[in-house]
């Protein structure tokens, strides 16, 4: 904590109140605020402003709508900890309407929504989870007798901010794939205006919470990219920050689930990892809380590109990714030295590196991967073996 003065400005009473309210020690609370400030990419010292905003600002009323989805976005929020995130979420916001969490049902639930919209007119945050079917006049999703398409328009009209949470609400997600029988559409498409999107199936709960806290702390939503995604979370390719990246650069790939390379944590590119064409902060801000470093690639599964329209649920999982942004690997000195015999990963990398000096890096990287694949095939043929179960370096 750098700006201790500002934090102590919060006053002992505020910190005591926070301790009681959240059932957290002040150390845990301040650590949590620092985590959120880091997630938002705020400069050093900003955690004080975050701590102050959460402790003192009025909780924004949130109306949370569910349409075509699996409720995984809500689950992702509620299954998080550090320390029990759901406690903090439910304290930072005033969740006035959420179909799967509220005790009210039927007419009472409808009344709660209407009441929140009236009481907090122009000030509430509308969160939409799930895609909105527009085909056949939107008849494929109704809640309380209202069509999703009408509900979202009605609730958005007086909202201070609209957040589309999850890939379904952000760009159509899973329900919009294939022939899209219901015309599943994004919130922005239905409202005809851009909204903040937090894609992911499910999305990272810290990205949602950081967006809300940004709104609380600075009175405005964070800066977004052309797809409405907060830049603090979605401006880097997964491939840029992946812990397996050194293996990619050195040409060490898992070739099959469960083979030696897979067991040793090698790069999952050849199993179809879409990290090279997917923007998200999954490698840096893990989530899921089934243990440290818990994110798809960390668990041994290739990224399917769930935050990226046109990648997740669209490209086959086994299809190798398009290299969007080729950074230094070809210019780096070789990490793996050639052992002297046959075509190895190292010799393939060396060939590609030489050729790379004369041609475009992206083209050469693709060739590099092809060469290393050819090298593996050649080695396999030489050894007369089936697909390898031994790590090759
Ligand atoms: Fe499910 Fe949310 Fe995926 Fe969609 O997440 S986790 S189908 S993004 O809307 O509930
Ligand atoms: Fe990580 Fe996937 Fe990139 Fe390999 S291809 S370094 S597993 S993001
Ligand atoms: Fe989704 Fe890939 Fe992250 S599958 S959760 S974008 S690692």
pLDDT in tens, 223-263: 999 999 999 999 999 999 999 999 999 999 999 999 999 99
pLDDT higher than 70, residue 348? no
**Shortest-distance ligand to the CA of residue 302:** 2
* % pLDDT > 70, the chain: 75
Q: Which residues contact 128 (CB under 8 A, 6 or more apart)?
A: 64, 65, 67, 152, 162, 163, 164, 165, 169, 187, 195
The model's pLDDT over 267-278, given as tens digits with 9 standing for 90+, comes to: 999 999 999 999
Q: Which of 174, 175, 311 to mutate to test the pocket of ligand 1 (most atoms within 8 A of CB)?
A: 174
Choose between 8 and 119: higher pLDDT: 119
Give a three-class secondary structure readout of 149-210.
Answer: HHHHHHHHHCCCEEEEEHHHHHHCCHHHCCCCCCCEECHHHHHCCCCEEECCCCCCHHHHHH
Q: Which residues line ligand 1 (CB under 6 A)?
A: 69-73, 129-130, 166-169, 173-174, 201-202
* Structure confidence at residue 383 (pLDDT): 57
Question: Is residue 6 within 8 Å of 33, Cβ to Cβ?
Answer: no
pLDDT at residue number 354: 36
Mean pLDDT value across residues 153-177: 96
Question: pLDDT over 90 for what percent of the chain?
Answer: 50
Q: Which residue, by CA, sits nearest to atom 4 of ligand 2? A: 267
Instruction: Please report which ligand is nearest the Cα atom of 288.
Output: 3
| CB 207 near ligand 3, within 6 Å | no
Confidence category of residue 351, pLDDT binned at 50, 70, 90: very low
Strand partners, 230: 224
pLDDT at 164: 98
What pTM was estimated for this model as a whole?
0.79
* pLDDT for residue 356: 38
SS3 state at 62: strand
Instruction: Report residue 161 as tokens.
Output: 């901010």
Cis peptide before 275 (omega within 30 of 0): no
In this structure, what is the dihedral angle of CA atoms 61, 66, 67, 73, given to the nearest 10 degrees? Answer: 110
The residue-averaged pLDDT of 25-52 equals 82
Give the mutation target among 75, 129, 208, 282 for probing the ligand 1 site: most ligand atoms within 8 A of CB.
Answer: 129
Atom of ligand 2 nearest to the CA of 273: 2
Average confidence score pLDDT of the chain: 81
Nearest ligand 1 atom to alpha carbon 167 = 8
**Predicted pLDDT at 334:** 57
pLDDT for the residue numbered 386:
47
Q: What is the arithmetic mean of pLDDT over 305-314? A: 96
Q: How far is the CA of 302 from the centre of ligand 2 (A)?
A: 8
Q: How far apart are CA 243 and CA 237, in angstroms?
A: 13
HSE-up of 90 (CA within 13 Å, CB side)?
Answer: 18
Q: How confident is the model at residue 379 (pLDDT cuts 50, 70, 90)?
A: low
Q: Would the CA dihedral through 17, 23, 29, 33 be positive or negative?
A: negative
Give the closest residue to 89 by CA, choosing from 202, 198, 169, 208.
208
For residue 40, the CA-to-ligand 2 centroid distance in Å is 24
Distance CA 296, CA 304 (A): 9
Q: Are 12 and 56 in contact (CB under 8 A)?
A: no
pLDDT given at position 367? 43
pLDDT at 80 over 70: no
Ligand 2 atom index nearest CA of 238: 8
């Amino acid at each position: 904590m750098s700006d201790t003065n500002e934090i102590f400005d919060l006053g002992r009473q505020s910190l005591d109140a926070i301790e009681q309210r959240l059932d957290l020690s002040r150390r845990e609370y301040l650590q949590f605020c620092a985590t959120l400030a880091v997630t938002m990419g705020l400069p050093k010292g900003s955690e004080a402003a975050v701590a102050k905003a959460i402790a003192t600002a009025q909780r924004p009323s949130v109306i949370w709508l569910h349409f075509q989805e699996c409720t995984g976005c809500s689950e992702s929020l509620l299954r998080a900890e550090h320390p029990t995130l759901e406690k903090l979420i439910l304290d930072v916001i005033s969740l006035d309407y959420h179909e799967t969490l509220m005790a009210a049902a039927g007419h009472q639930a409808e009344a709660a929504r209407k009441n929140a919209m009236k009481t907090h007119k122009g000030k509430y945050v509308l969160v939409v989870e799930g895609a909105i079917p527009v085909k056949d006049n939107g008849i494929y999703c109704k809640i309380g007798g209202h069509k999703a398409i009408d509900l979202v328009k009605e609730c958005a009209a007086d909202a201070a901010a609209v957040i589309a949470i999850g890939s379904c609400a952000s760009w159509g997600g899973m329900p919009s794939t294939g022939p899209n029988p219901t015309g599943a559409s994004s919130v922005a498409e239905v409202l005809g205006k851009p909204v903040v999107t937090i894609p992911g199936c499910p999305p990272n709960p810290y990205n949602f919470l950081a967006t809300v806290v940004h709104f609380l702390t600075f009175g405005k939503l964070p800066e977004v990219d052309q797809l409405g995604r907060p830049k603090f979370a979605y401006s880097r390719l997964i491939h840029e920050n992946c812990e397996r990246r050194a293996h990619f650069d050195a040409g060490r790939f898992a070739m099959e689930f469960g083979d030696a390379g897979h067991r040793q944590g090698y790069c999952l590119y050849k199993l179809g990892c879409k990290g090279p064409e997917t923007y998200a902060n999954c490698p840096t801000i893990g989530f899921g809380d089934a243990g440290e470093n818990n994110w798809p690639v960390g668990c041994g599964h290739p990224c399917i590109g769930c935050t990226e329209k046109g990648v997740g649920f669209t490209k086959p999982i086994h299809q190798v990714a398009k290299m969007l942004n080729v950074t230094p690997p070809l210019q780096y000195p070789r990490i793996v030295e050639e052992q002297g015999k046959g075509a190895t990963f190292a010799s393939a990398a060396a060939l590609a590196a030489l050729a790379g000096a004369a041609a475009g890096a992206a083209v050469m990287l693709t060739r590099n991967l092809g060469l290393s694949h050819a090298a593996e095939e050649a080695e396999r043929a030489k050894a007369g073996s089936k697909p390898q179960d031994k790590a090759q370096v």
